[in-house]
Structure 1
Amino acid sequence: MKVISFINHKGGIGKTSSALNVGYSLKSRGYRTLLIDMDSQSNLTLALGLDKNIKNHVGKFIEGELLFEEVVKTANNLDILPASKLVAKTEKDLGNQPDFAFELKERLDQVKDNYDFCIIDCPPSLGVFVYMVMVTSSYIFIPMQPEFFAFEGLENIVEAFNKVKKHYNPGLKIGGVFFTKYNPKIRNTMYTELVDTIKEQYNELVLKTSIRENVKIGHAQIFKTNLFELDSNSNGAKDYDNLTTEILERIK
Structure 2
Amino acid sequence: MTPIIALFNQSGGVGKTTLTMNLGYHLAQMGRKVLLVDIDPQSSLTTFMGLESMELESTIYNAIVHQDKIPIIHDLHSMDLVPSNIKLSKAEMELSAAIMRELRLKQSLETIQEQYDYILIDCPPSLGILSIMSLVAATHVLIPIQTEFKALKGTELLLNTIVEVLNVANRKLKVAGIIPTMYDARTSQGEQSLQSIQTQLSKVGIVHTTIPRATDFANASQARKPLAVFNPKHPTLKLLKEISKTLDSLK
8 Å contact from structure 2 (residues 14, 145) kept in 1: yes
Q: Look up the SS of the partner of 1:118 in the other structure.
A: strand
Structure 1 alignment gaps of length 5 or more: none
User: TM (normalized to structure 1)?
Assistant: 0.93
8 Å contact from structure 1 (residues 210, 243) kept in 2: no
User: For residue 199 of structure 1, what is the aligned residue in structure 2?
Assistant: 198
User: For residue 235 of structure 1, what is the aligned residue in structure 2?
Assistant: 235
Match of 2:63 among 61, 64, 67: 61
8 Å contact from structure 2 (residues 138, 173) kept in 1: yes
User: For residue 14 of structure 1, what is the aligned residue in structure 2?
Assistant: 15
**Segments of 4+ in structure 1 off by > 4 A?**
none
User: For residue 31 of structure 2, what is the aligned residue in structure 1?
Assistant: 30
Q: Equivalences for 1:79-158 in 2 at 5 Å?
A: 79-158=80-159
% identical equivalent positions: 27
Distance 1:154 1:174 in 2: 14
Structure 2 alignment gaps of length 5 or more: none
Shift of 1:91: 2.9
The one-letter amino acid paired with 1:215 is T
User: For residue 216 of structure 1, what is the aligned residue in structure 2?
Assistant: 216
Shift of 1:65: 4.3
8 Å contact from structure 1 (residues 13, 143) kept in 2: yes
The one-letter amino acid paired with 1:202 is L
Deviates more, 1:91-100 or 1:4-13: 91-100
Name the count of aligned residue pairs.
Answer: 247
User: TM (normalized to structure 2)?
Assistant: 0.93
Q: Look up the SS of the partner of 1:18 in the other structure.
A: helix
The one-letter amino acid paired with 1:192 is E
The one-letter amino acid paired with 1:58 is I
Distance 1:16 1:191 in 2: 21
8 Å contact from structure 1 (residues 44, 121) kept in 2: yes
The one-letter amino acid paired with 1:241 is K
Shift of 1:182: 0.9
**Shift in alpha-carbon separation, 1:183–1:64, aligned structure 2, 3 A:** same
